Amino acid sequence: MSTILCIETASTNCSVAIGVNGKLLALKEDYDSSYSHAERLHIFIKEILAENNLALSDLDAIAVSKGPGSYTGLRIGVSAAKGLCFSLDLPLISVATLTSLANQVENEGTIIPMMDARRMEVYTAVFDKDKNQIEETSAKILDVDSYKEYLDEQVVYFIGSGVEKFKKICEHPNAQYIEGKLPSSSQMVDLANIKHKKSDFEDVAYFEPYYLKDFMVG
């Protein structure tokens, strides 16, 4: 039996879930756009454990969304996860943010998750109908011809915080936009459990978030 605490802070959504044997036991999240992760994350962890009569000692692993996404959000989430792993001597599991975002799509078809970056840029990847990643994660500047090779062949589902900007410039009939969705720890539960079964763990001392691009101070 595996009980895994999942932490997702790659976007404005501060999200914490508990998974037991790959099934979602509980979820606590807040889509507050003010990036209040530093204030809320540890409170959410404490509350979700208490509400489910669990103690930190009942956990078998900590899973964290590794990015790409918000630099500050990722740093806060990974720091919290590593701190818990150090203090509790637990394994650390990382889950790709775009993979868990793609897993929110229930329809069959090509899936393109998008995390909003600067201007017309998004962090993105491409997944097939079976949720297998078929195009590597990248920072992409959107234009009217973006993903035309996929759209001309089949229905493509776009999901994430970058959808709004792409919808304004792409009116292809095969483009299906799933709006208002952000990465959630609820989608990390099964992915984290699969990694736990394989003992696919990170080195707690050296693990860093996948920022994709260097942090820029404006």
Cα 137 to Cα 123: distance, rounded to the nearest angstrom: 7
Q: What is the pLDDT of residue 86?
A: 97
Cα 182 to Cα 193: distance, rounded to the nearest angstrom: 21
Cα 89 to Cα 151: distance, rounded to the nearest angstrom: 47
Confidence of residue 218 (pLDDT cuts 50, 70, 90): very low
pTM of this prediction? 0.94
Q: Is the pLDDT of residue 192 over 60?
A: yes
Q: What is the pLDDT of residue 34?
A: 65
Cα 109 to Cα 41: distance, rounded to the nearest angstrom: 34
Q: What is the pLDDT of residue 1?
A: 83
3-state DSSP call for residue 39?
helix
pLDDT tens for residues 143-179?
A: 999 999 999 999 999 999 999 999 999 999 999 999 9
Helical pair 37-51 and 71-88, crossing angle rounded to 10 deg: 40
pLDDT tens for residues 6-34?
A: 999 999 999 999 999 999 999 999 987 56
